[in-house]
Amino acid sequence: MAEKNTDTEKQLKVKQGFIGTLVASAIGAIIFAITGKAILLPIFAIAGFVFYDRPNYIKRKEQERFRILEIEQEALAKEQEKELKAAQKKLKAAQKKNRGNRASLYENIYTVAGYALALQQDLNPYIKKAEDVIKYFKASTVERRIAVEAFNRALDPSFDVDTFVKNYIDNIGRNRDYISYVLTYAYLIACNEDLINPTAKDRLFNLALLLGSSKAALGRLFKTGCAQAKFAQEYDEYFKSGDSSTVKTFADEKYNDRTSSKEAEAEYQKQQQQQQEQQRTQKVNDEDKTNQALEILGLSSKATMDEVKKAYKKLMFKYHPDRLAASGLPEDMIAIYTEKSKAIQVAYDHIKKIYADAM
């Protein structure tokens, strides 16, 4: 601090003025000429210096010192701002790199899922779901081990959720798409037969808010999260499955060439009833799936086919790999968006088929 003050003093360029001394001396000379008292000359000169020149000098010196300090503080503030921006840029680059790390992604997914399920008594159904999801990811042995360790660590009652949240935000940041992906698959793991336990849901909700998700985003997650993940997982099988309406049923194959005996007819009627029941169940399932597909596209059940097409084109453009690559996203983050585009594609094809069948 003393060194800084010394530097400031060196920059001061205020010179002592003597205007007051000269003016007072002139007044003293006039009075001397009138009274003949020579002593008045130095007295007036000293008075002009003491009461005007010196105070004025001190005042200007303080003003100059204050001006220099302001300049120094502004320069320091600009330097600190520059350093802060550089640090933030470096941090964002590191966070972007971390978001592209698959092992880190799986660790976060399974930590969130484990925390959500920590109070469940029977974990067997969820462990099976966790295994299914990690297989779907085609994770390496090392990545799988990291996911398992993260899951078990979050299940422990001593798990420090505050430390996890801090580390997550420091290392990953508050990227909306990344947290959406993490929560989607954590939610899928935490579901048992497409339902999530209220306690698990509350824990997932609270942790998600701490990680940077919004209530609106969580509302969409709890409405379509499982559906979106499932649509993405069904992608390959969906396009390989063909049109189920062209496949013969067991009853068709068995009874096409049967005689019209009463026994055969009764058995046939029974099979027809079972088939009708299956069709009714399938219809309900199809309606649920259609609603989920519409929700993935951001549409209501009243949407027209034109609205479906517009929503589909808009979303597919948004998540097109070439566009994402051009924006500078890392490869694994592009893979995350690709999962969304898979769900969108399957949802669109499902709706298109349903609407075509209804015509």
Q: Which long-range contacts (CB under 8 A, 24 or more apart) does 43-50 make?
A: 45/21, 48/20, 48/21, 48/22, 48/23, 48/24, 49/18, 49/20, 49/21, 49/24
Q: What's the Rg (C-alpha) of the chain? A: 39
DSSP code of residue 282 = H
Question: Quick check: 243 and 256 in contact, CB under 8 A?
Answer: no
Q: How far apart are CA 178 and CA 113, in angstroms?
A: 15
Alpha-carbon span 99 to 113, nearest angstrom: 18
25-33 contact pairs (CB < 8 A, 24+): none
Domain ranges of the chain: 2-97, 100-226, 238-358
Taking the C-alpha atoms of residue 16 and residue 245, their distance in angstroms, rounded to an integer, is 103
Are 112 and 161 contacting, i.e. CB atoms less than 8 angstroms apart? no
CATH number of 238-358: 1.10.287.110
- Check if CATH label 1.10.3680 holds for domain 100-226: yes
- For position 159, what pLDDT does the model report? 96
The pLDDT of residue 252:
36
Positions of the chain with pLDDT lower than 70, given as ranges: 1-12, 194, 224-287, 326-333, 335-336, 339, 357-359
Q: Are 251 and 268 in contact (CB under 8 A)?
A: yes
pLDDT score at 138: 85
- How much is the pLDDT for 249? 30
Q: Which residues have a Cβ under 8 Å from the Cβ of 180 and sit 6 or more positions away?
A: 213, 217, 221
Q: Coil, strand, or helix at residue 328?
A: coil
Q: Greatest CA separation found in the chain? A: 157
Provide the β-strand partners of residue 196. Answer: 191
Q: Quick one: pLDDT at residue 206?
A: 95
Burial class (CB in 10 A: 0-12, 13-18, 19+), 189: buried
**Nearest Cα to Cα of residue 298 among 340, 335, 255:** 340
